[in-house]
Amino acid sequence: MDYETSLRIWAQIRSTRCGDLKEMLVDTAIRYAQLRLEWLRASADRQSVIGADRSACHNSLISACDALARNMESADEESSWRMILGNDRKRIGDFACFLHCILGLSAR
């Protein structure tokens, strides 16, 4: 996953009329990115505590991606972003971090 690919994926997601599902994906991505960073900065003892929350959030992120893509497809919206994103957990997690960055930069 790279920044440019993340921008292309976000452009498709951003254009959807499935607003509630889009917000759920964004909220979950932001939370996952925060947990990833928190885990990195934590002590080994704290990492084991954060790890379960991080995994659960990651699973929720994947589910949010799947739900949004299904609904976009049902609404005849462009949903090729989901195929581009793929199913690799690390790649999906990286997208969450890039999305966090994209949104943060666009807020200036």
Q: In this predicted structure, what is the pLDDT of residue 108?
A: 84
Percentage of residues in the chain having pLDDT higher than 70 = 100
d(CA 93, CA 108): 24
Percentage of residues in the chain having pLDDT higher than 90 = 98
Query: Nearest Cα to 13, choosing from 4, 23, 27?
Result: 23
Q: In this predicted structure, what is the pLDDT of residue 9?
A: 98
pLDDT in tens, 44-92: 999 999 999 999 999 999 999 999 999 999 999 999 999 999 999 999 9
Domain of 30, in residue numbers: 3-106
pTM for the whole thing? 0.93
Task: For CA atoms 103, 62, 86, 19, give the dihedral sign.
Answer: negative
Number of domains, the chain:
1
